[in-house]
Every structure is written in structure tokens, then in C-alpha cells.
Amino acid sequence: MTRVLDAGPFVQACLDEGFALAGVTTCEPPATATAFESWLAEGCAGSMEWMHRAADVRADPGKLLEGAKSIIVVADRYEGSRADAIPVGSGRVAAYAKGRDYHRLMKRRLHQCCDQWSEAFPEASFRACVDTAPLLERAAAEAAGLGRVGKNTMLIEPGTGSWLLLGEVLTTLSIAPTPRAHEEPCGTCTRCIDACPTDALSPWKLDARRCIAALTIEERDEVPATFASATDDWLFGCDICQQVCPHNGETQKTRSASTHMEYAPRADVFDVEKVLDWTAEDRVDAIAGTAMTRASLDMWRRNACVVAGNILANGDGSASLRARLNGIVQDGNEAAIVRSAARVAIGQQSD
């Protein structure tokens, strides 16, 4: 008979490494696997072709590690954002990307946990994952009791909100699951759905083809002109559906919830005209060590054209910004996605 281990020491080891939350679930296929397959079939992944790869593994986490029986799930909290005004001529970035790259920070500490457990259980295997592994991690986090997934498809920790980053360790050990969170977080609330400027959200479902975060971070081609004005001043990512969520409102509990110091914002907003003029070296200097490196130089400049067009359409742009966009359109050596975005931006300008 397989020995089932108490989850307590594993959870505590994660908390000792500085994770805000930790829990354990089994490697059984998640209840959301069928919904995920339907989501893919409907084309909701958009240009994220990598979501289709290893889809069978996402539906069965046990395939990530031979003989896996348990998943230890962790979460880091980071400082969220508010819809405050930013300097004229600037663009904003999603809160999760403002500090150190969570992939490196979380994986390093997960590996430290794995090393500790490997010494204690030399017969067992462990695999640390962040979001680059084919795993339905929000489903795993929900099953491990870290929170519940809300209508905006984000994991919501009861009382403290959704500003969370997830990581996992799969293991061949049998560990008793931690209790699930039973409280459904949304009720009749639809603030996230109502606030989404591109109508990317429906209850518990996101259409990445319309999502500002996906369009600015994952889309390698042109951003559809129909979404240009809705993108507003978002250069990289989008926080709107989290900003309006009541669970992310300021309360005594949220004020006392600790965030990891490495996620303290290094870069908050960017001057759009400067981004339009970025070289490869400028990009590295500005965003090195953050998750913002996910977007290439051409993508950053494409996004800057979109935001610049919105700035000009609002009557806030300078003559030099207008001239820079015109220069991009006229430069045959510019990347096609940048020129296309500049053309759309010029079309947004008022006479």
C-alpha cells in the first residue's frame, strides 16, 4: 500500500522559501480539461499556437513526470496596479511585469525545495514548473486550495485578491491534498466583464483574440486595427479586469498581505516617443531582468505606435510624436508590423 504523506511539511518548506501560499493536490486530470479542449477548438487561444502543443499533457498533468502522484502548488503575491493617471505621452505595463522576472525568481526557490525533498526522499522524483510548462496551473491551484478562479479567469485568493503568480512541483510522492476553497468568489458581479474594453471576457472564459494582454505580449504579427483605440495606453499587458475586481479593493487585509520584495516595480511607465526610437540595446537596458523581455523590439515599437495613435487622437500628443509616426510610415526599412501600426495611428488622428 502506498504511503500517503502529510502535506504540512511540504507546505511549510514552500512558505519558508518566501512563497505567500502553498497547497497540494493530486495529479488527476483537472475538471476543466474538457472546457480547455473546447476553448482551443473554438480558436480562443488566438495566435498562441504553443497552447495547442502538448494539449494532452495539459489535460493530464501526470504526463509531465513519469509516475507523478501529487502537485505542490505555490503562489507569490506582487504589488497590483490602479487605474491612476500617468504622465501625458506615456504608456503603462501590467503590474506583474514591473519587477524581477517571476520565472527565474520562482523556479530558483522551487528548485531549492526540490533539493531539500530529494535529500529526504531519495527514491522520489520532482519536477519544478512555472508557467512555461504545459500545465493548467490555475486549475491545480484551485484544487490545492489556494483560491478560486473568478469570472475574469484569474485565481482569486479569498480576502486578498488576484495579484498572484503561480508555480508548481510535481512529484512521485503521494501527499495528502490540502482542502479546497469552497467559496465562489464572484456571485452576480460582472465588473470585469463590463470593464473589458475589447469584450474579451465572458463568465470564466477569455478570448485571447480580443485580449489586450495577449495582443500586446503574445501576438507576433499586426494588432487588429479594430482594437487599436481600445488598447488605450497599454504598452505591455493589461490589468483592467483585475483593477475593477472587488477582491482587489484596498482593505485592512489586503494592506497587510505581504508581497515579495523582488517584484517591487523597476519600471512603471515608459515614454512612448522614446520607445518608438528604441534600438535593441535600448530595449535591453530598459527591461532586462523583467518578464517584459517576452515582447521583441518590433513588438514594443508596434505597441508604442498603437499607444501613440491614441495619445494623438485624444489631443495630447506633441508635434514630434506625430512626425515620428509619419517617419515610420515612410521608412521602407521599418518592420512591417511597426509600419502597419503607425499607419493605423495616423488614421486615428483628428483633423
Strand partners, 149: 155
Cβ contact 218:208 at 8 Å: yes
Lookup result for grid cell 494588432: 223
Residues 6+ apart with CB under 8 A from 339: 328, 329, 331
Of these residues, 131, 271, 282, 298, which one is catalytic?
Answer: 131
Cell numbers given for 71: 502537485
Residues 6+ apart with CB under 8 A from 120: none
Tell me the three state secondary structure of residue 161. Answer: strand
CA–CA separation, 136 vs 348, rounded Å? 39
At 130, which helix (H) or strand (E)?
A: none
CA–CA separation, 293 vs 306, rounded Å? 19
CA–CA separation, 161 vs 164, rounded Å? 8
Counting Cα atoms < 13 Å in the Cβ hemisphere of 112 gives 13
Listing DSSP states for 207-262 in one string gives -TTT-HHHHHHT--SPPPGGGHHHHTTEEE---HHHHT-GGGS--HHHHHS---GG
User: Is residue 6 flagged as an active site residue?
Assistant: no
Cβ contact 111:130 at 8 Å: no
Active site residues per annotation: 131
